[in-house]
Structure 1
Amino acid sequence: MGGKQVTSEAPRETTGERSTGEPSRTEASLALSGDSTRLAQVRRFAASFLTTARGAAGVLVRVETVEAVQLIVSELVTNALRHAPGPALLGLSISDGALRIEVSDSSPVAPAARVPDPARVGQHGLEMVTALARSVSVETAATGKRVVAVVALA
């Protein structure tokens, strides 16, 4: 793994609702370190977040949307843990009928989707994320970058 140190720190989860003047905003985050062995946990975390939002906040979420979100978070977290040293942070927030997925990592290098090539094996993750999300962007942060995917819930 090119000298990357792998740690086994347990993920930290935070959830909550905050009043921002916006209608019904729900948020959660999951800190990850080291390796991609926790991808099943990342997918469960996203599904659980959406299930909770459906019940607690009355947000309409289709099963197909939950499955798409699980794929998106899996791909974005995999990229963050594979291509950046240090920990990653997954943030989920719902506002105005959309889910904002944020994955922050310590690398300043922005990911780039490759040209679609059905003969290529692998490296289709960002292609899939772009196809499933309403929008995908990269924001520069003081300590790296944040990849943001927005998914319509209704």
Structure 2
Amino acid sequence: MDLAGQDEGSEPCTDRLISASAAFEGSEEIAAARDMARGFLTSLQAVHGLPVSKRAMGMVQLVVSELVTNARKYAPGPCLLTLEAHQGAVEVTVWDSSTTLPAVMAPDPGRIGKHGLEIVMAVCRSFEVHREPVGKRIKVAVVLADDPGGDVAGHKVM
């Protein structure tokens, strides 16, 4: 894992990019992608002093799992996963070789399966899909810290 950022013992990193990237080829590597996300978030806390809520820890791993699973399921060849800490959030980017854009299905509690993208969109602050010269890139952001007032990060309780 390639981590860029600040030296241990200094103030929390807020202006420098902290990132990690890896390529995944087999479906067995979906667990490795989740492990990479957990390690990245742990490093953000321990090494860089950034707050990471328990909710964010779980949500980032869930998002990574769903996006890498879809890439492995629907696109031939490897997929690339990049995690970046940016403006109080983790940006999760997954590239795959398929030019077919993901289709968001209407919510249907009776449907078995195919809820991954629906889940990702519900828990992320932002969701973007970009066609690339080869394939596509999906980029989402998950807020790292919950609001001190008790609101779930990125969402106001009404």
Given the two structures, how large is their TM-score scaled by the length of structure 2? Answer: 0.83
Quick one: distance in 2 between partners of 1:30 and 1:15? 11
Task: Return the letter of the residue paired with 2:19.
Answer: E
- 1:13-39 deviation line (CA, Å, top 9, x unaligned): 333239xxx713200011111x21112
Q: How does 1:66-77 map to 2 (within 5 A)?
A: 66-77=57-68
Secondary structure in structure 2 of the residue aligned to 1:122: coil
User: Does structure 2 retain, via aligned residues, the 8 Å contact 1:28–1:93?
Assistant: yes
TM-superposed deviation, 1:82: 0.6
State the 4+ residue runs in structure 1 displaced beyond 6 angstroms.
Answer: none
Hey, what does 1:97 align to over in structure 2?
A: 88
Aligned Cα root-mean-square deviation (Å): 1.4
TM-superposed deviation, 1:141: 1.3
Identity of aligned residues (%): 42
Secondary structure in structure 2 of the residue aligned to 1:101: strand
Secondary structure in structure 1 of the residue aligned to 2:15: coil
Hey, what does 1:56 align to over in structure 2?
A: 47
Quick one: distance in 2 between partners of 1:85 and 1:40? 19
Task: Return the letter of the residue paired with 1:140.
Answer: R
Task: Return the letter of the residue paired with 1:17.
Answer: G
Give the total of aligned pairs: 138
Given the two structures, how large is their TM-score scaled by the length of structure 1? Answer: 0.85
Hey, what does 2:11 align to over in structure 1?
A: none
Return the match for 2:119 from 102, 105, 128.
128
Secondary structure in structure 1 of the residue aligned to 2:65: helix
Quick one: distance in 1 between partners of 2:132 and 2:5? 24
Hey, what does 1:37 align to over in structure 2?
A: 28
User: Does structure 2 retain, via aligned residues, the 8 Å contact 1:24–1:57?
Assistant: no
Return the match for 1:112 from 80, 89, 103.
103
